[in-house]
Structure 1
Amino acid sequence: MGTWMATIRFPDGVERYARYSTVVEALVSDLYPASHVHNYREEPAGEPLPTFRDRPRAPVDQLIPVVISHAPDDDRWHAVYCPQRCMIVGPVSPYRSWRIQEANDLVPGDGDGLRHLSQLRERGLCGAPVVDAPLTYRRYLSWGEDGDDQPPFTDIYADWAGGEMCRDCLLLALDQAE
């Protein structure tokens, strides 16, 4: 019972499907073109779509933002799909997105109008100069911790298409996390 169906929604309305493991809390399969109900549970159907893991990642402006949700709780997170590799390049779980946020400060750029991820606070992961004033964003809470004083959750990959977040920083953070 540790494997559930995940639905990957593309901006043009297309849906693809994958398997999501509650044991490792991540996508654990390639994408499928369809789904069906088997023993009262939805699951991916058909042959997995081809992937090309050995191809280079597509240029940053060709990567596609997607929304992933998984059963049974309909938990959602934003991720990035590479059309050249025909696969999700990450994050493959909401937990990995949390880990990226824990490992990096969210900082405004110095005159570029973007928010960057930074570990040094003087430069973004992409190398761009940043203002030395990290923005606060919600941190992951352990079981039983009180989060009343926390700011609202920020899904940094949700801003991919909006032009507010540095895409190069997001990709570099994915590479570090994977």
Structure 2
Amino acid sequence: MSKESEKQRWQRNFADLLQELRVAQTGVQILFAFLLTLPFSNGFTRTSGFQKDVYIVSLLSAAAATAMIISPVAFHRALFRQGRKPELVRFAHRMASGGLGFMLISMVSAVLLITDFVLHRGVALVLSALTALWFLTFWVFLPMARRNWGEDVDDDDDDEPQV
């Protein structure tokens, strides 16, 4: 089997990254839609000042995640057919990482908002911290630990853009 060219590798990296963004985009859009409708529900009037502050953090971080996760599309449109795929892949990688960070904040804030509404604040804080740890385990700790496994194996999926 022939080795792919540099251009083909950047194209494949971009296609892989877009597929990953499609998955993340769906999750953040569902959360964002839920958060947009929440103030119009009957129970929202019973929220405390703390809960409203947590709601705003969750809403704004979902908006930031949405913007960052979708931004590679706008960047691609601006650079279309200019032969700047490496720059596009590096940008999309940074935006995906930032978008996931904001998505984490939004998810944990949403859990805090809901658990604080139905449980005691102390329990809500513990559950939210556990939620953050759960997400960090699967989104950061395990992937980073995996980076050192099987370094002697030539894996085509490990050629992420250097940032």
Q: Structure 2-normalised TM-score?
A: 0.20
The structure in which a higher percent of residues are helix is 2
The structure in which a higher percent of residues are strand is 1
Pick the structure with greater CA Rg: 2
Larger RCO of the pair (alpha carbons < 8 Å, separation 6+): 2
